Amino acid sequence: MRLTTVRRTINVKGFIALLTLLVSATCLADDSNALPSWQDSAARQQITAFVSDVTNPESANYVALGERIAVFDNDGTLWAEQPIYSQLFFVADRIRAQAPEHPEWQTEEPFASMLKGDIAGAFGSSHDAALKLVRASQAGLDTDAFDQVVRDWIQSARHPATGKPYNKMVYQPMLELLSYLQDNDFKSFIVSGGGIDFMRPWTESVYGIPPERVVGSRVAKRFELIDGVAHVVHEGTLEFNDDKEGKPIGISQHIGRRPIAAFGNSDGDLQMLQWTSAGSGPRLGVIIHHTDADREWAYDRESDVGTLNEALDQAPQRGWVVVDMKQDWKQVFPD
């Protein structure tokens, strides 16, 4: 009886050991077919090596599933931000659509410049021009109505330089990266200076990121009962600016965990990269450097949109991966 019990114990232990080995093998990141739009460059290798390391149960750097948090800037990191941010084109279209109801806008700034087609001039006409324009574009609409306005715009609007729908101005290599991280049990969040209410209606269909995983700048809202029906209504006043120093604060408030990976493209992402990198254990910081004037745009230090200066200087000393769009990506936009 005792010998049988010992044999059974050995068999059970052997089965557990074999099962552990099999599970470990299947948990390892398989990057052989991952990121097909990326060149087999140092940048790609650093990203896949990090993912392989933190997802390997046998690695000293293994990261538990719940802690595999990655954060992505949106403008210039996941989709194009030139010649100006896409949300500003949306605001411009909204102002033009509402203009017949506001004849005073013909002479009142920043609306007058906007109606003349001078978008940059409109936003630069005063220190509070952006707030006035954003407020006018959504104030008074409840959340459902504004969601639908954004969805309709994303489907119909076209980028002025390429003629593409804005949801086709996304970067194919970054779509592949989001999928690759998801396949390896990362939870990815968008952390953007753009409006949270502008992004949430379409991020799931375009990026696979649901609205609850979008962190962005917020306008104030109020609750109203209209004819006995409950509504949440946009007031239009800025409640939180999720840019620069605001990004780590937004992550802390919204996500509640420090990410282990952060992806950005400008000095607006600097503090997010710094805070992510400051955590203990393995960390990945990635900067998308716009170097491809033929397939997209080439800009960095002197650009008014997506300025990349201080973050680029800090990248070598902090060990951040700098992705050279021209050299590291086989293609930029989806076919």
For residues 249 and 139, which has the higher predicted lDDT (pLDDT)?
249
Nearest to 197 by CA among 230, 167, 258, 238: 238
Q: Is the dihedral of CA 232, 233, 237, 242 positive or negative?
A: positive
| Tens digits of residue pLDDT in 190-237 | 999 999 999 999 999 999 999 999 999 999 999 999 999 999 999 878
Position 11 scores a pLDDT of: 55
State the Cα–Cα distance between residues 18 and 27, nearest whole angstrom.
Answer: 14
Number of C-beta neighbours around residue 48 at 10 A: 21
Position 142 scores a pLDDT of: 94
Position 30 scores a pLDDT of: 57
Residue 303 CB-density burial (10 A; 0-12 exposed, 13-18 middle, 19+ buried): middle
State the Cα–Cα distance between residues 136 and 91, nearest whole angstrom.
Answer: 9
Whether 324 has a pLDDT exceeding 80, the answer reads yes
State the Cα–Cα distance between residues 61 and 228, nearest whole angstrom.
Answer: 55
User: Please, what are the domains in the chain?
Assistant: 28-83+167-328 (3.40.50.1000)
Residue 326 CB-density burial (10 A; 0-12 exposed, 13-18 middle, 19+ buried): middle
Of 20-29, 93-102, 109-118, 170-179, the range with the lowest mean pLDDT is 20-29
Cβ 95 vs Cβ 115: under 8 Å: yes
- 172: enclosing H helix or E strand: helix 172-183
Number of C-beta neighbours around residue 287 at 10 A: 26
Phi, psi dihedrals of residue 81, rounded to the nearest 5°: -125, 5
Secondary structure letter of residue 142 according to DSSP: B
Write down the mean pLDDT value for the chain. 91
Position 31 scores a pLDDT of: 72
Of 123-132, 136-145, 187-196, the range with the lowest mean pLDDT is 123-132
Joined tokens for residue 325 = 């769009």
Q: For the chain, what's the residue count?
A: 335
| Tens digits of residue pLDDT in 44-64 | 999 999 999 999 999 999 999
Position 129 scores a pLDDT of: 87
